[in-house]
Structure 1
């Protein structure tokens, strides 16, 4: 354990020395002028840039310098670029190009206006009632359905990765996304085909579970704790039966959902019930 702890300490020191953000005013790929750092993740640094060619704001993501010699990390970064290249949705980033400079890896994408849900909830103290929360989920479900139909599974649906602009959600950060690899079932052993389908279902249900957690975050924005003792959400939140049922299946407390259509049906039933009450 002590050896592991020492290695982690050395790694952190190394990263603090090597992973210094690029200075403001630096021109990347003879095109993107760095304006500011707008985010840092476990393996990337994200910059707001001025595109000198189009005169528009762009986002440039850089693979952390400390990871550029790690083959696995480079492959993950390239995989994210590949996923972005396949996207064609107004509520998701547009990839413009990938490029490298002295073995440093980057890609440029569109800049999306908006603050992420995490900041809106915890900094701006924005609240969402039950109906508003369900409506946000409905929009997110449409984005997830688009991804799944295109063989993409986000696997990191969290409130920091959702931007909100005029109550319309935009999905970002595809660093952990997985793409379905096409295969010919007729040329594959039955066991391989079965395992493949099981893996796809597992990835779908991970995205569904994450949607359930996002819904919980939204619902808790209007909750005021009266008890010192923390209670389960089923006791703390006063929700319509349909919303409780939806959450329990998303969070795998009850039988988990196997497809988007099932979720959509229960979501719209919950919305309808909410409208009847009011």
Structure 2
């Protein structure tokens, strides 16, 4: 299996060469630089030559275009982006092909993702700040769920921050109208993991022995209860309304 993975990686290395700066796509978008690479896509920051503002153009890797399944995932992401209507989520503009490669365009969101803020810029969040950030994120998740869209990949790299405003990005693994409730449960579980990440930013790592978060972190009982239900240690949440109720109680306890 590791040999096959190595062969696949080598194949992608030679086939999936990012576009050079200065390349103009669809007679409108000038490539400035690569801002992200994923398992099936490459993200470029581009200058819109018609409006003079920045856009993000996502390309499906050439190596993935040989798979109908990967193309379908790319088209599904486009379909979901077209459904979004929130200032704190990507705005879709158009999809196009260029030299037989598949692309779509969305607005450029400035800022840093939570992963970079926590691990590189060493930003910390106390308990109240962590809960407030979760409250902002819950608003976005609730908006998605009301559209029967489930993100499926709520992680700190997919949350952007700019001037204390939170943005949710990367809908590559999202689903519309799933047949079961697993996607909703996954989103709620992921919210719990994000909250844990935030809470650990103020934890002094002096202990050599790894302990459960319930022993390592000193938290209000209301926050512990909220976390246990999000992480499905206690009865899992089934609605964002119930999460919000317990979240408000935890925030009140931290005043």
Length-normalised TM-score, structure 2: 0.98
**Structure 1: which 5+ runs fail to align?**
182-195
**Match status 1:218 vs 2:194:** no
| Alpha-carbon shift at residue 202 of structure 1 (Å) | 1.6
**Match status 1:260 vs 2:240:** yes
Q: In the alignment, what sits opposite 2:80?
A: 83
Rounded Cα–Cα distance in structure 1 between residues aligned with 2:130 and 2:9: 39
Rounded Cα–Cα distance in structure 2 between residues aligned with 1:246 and 1:77: 35
| Alpha-carbon shift at residue 7 of structure 1 (Å) | 2.1
1:8-19 matches, within 5 Å, as 8-19=5-16
Rounded Cα–Cα distance in structure 2 between residues aligned with 1:166 and 1:130: 20
Q: In the alignment, what sits opposite 1:92?
A: 89
Query: Do the aligned partners of 1:35 and 1:50 also contact (CA within 8 Å) in 2?
Result: yes
**Match status 1:204 vs 2:184:** yes
Rounded Cα–Cα distance in structure 2 between residues aligned with 1:114 and 1:58: 14
**Match status 1:62 vs 2:59:** yes
Per-residue CA shift, 1:190-247, capped at 9, x if unaligned? xxxxxx3xx1x22111000000000000000000022110000000000000000000
Greater CA radius of gyration, 1 or 2?
1
| Alpha-carbon shift at residue 101 of structure 1 (Å) | 1.8
Compute the RMSD of aligned alpha carbons.
0.8
**Structure 2: which 5+ runs fail to align?**
none
Q: In the alignment, what sits opposite 1:250?
A: 230
1:149-228 matches, within 5 Å, as 149-180=146-177, 196=179, 199=180, 201-228=181-208
Rounded Cα–Cα distance in structure 1 between residues aligned with 2:156 and 2:189: 13
Query: Do the aligned partners of 1:35 and 1:47 also contact (CA within 8 Å) in 2?
Result: yes
1:27-66 matches, within 5 Å, as 27-66=24-63
Query: Do the aligned partners of 1:136 and 1:167 also contact (CA within 8 Å) in 2?
Result: no
Count of aligned pairs between the two proteins: 255
Q: In the alignment, what sits opposite 2:221?
A: 241
Length-normalised TM-score, structure 1: 0.90
Rounded Cα–Cα distance in structure 1 between residues aligned with 2:167 and 2:175: 19
Query: Do the aligned partners of 1:32 and 1:51 also contact (CA within 8 Å) in 2?
Result: yes
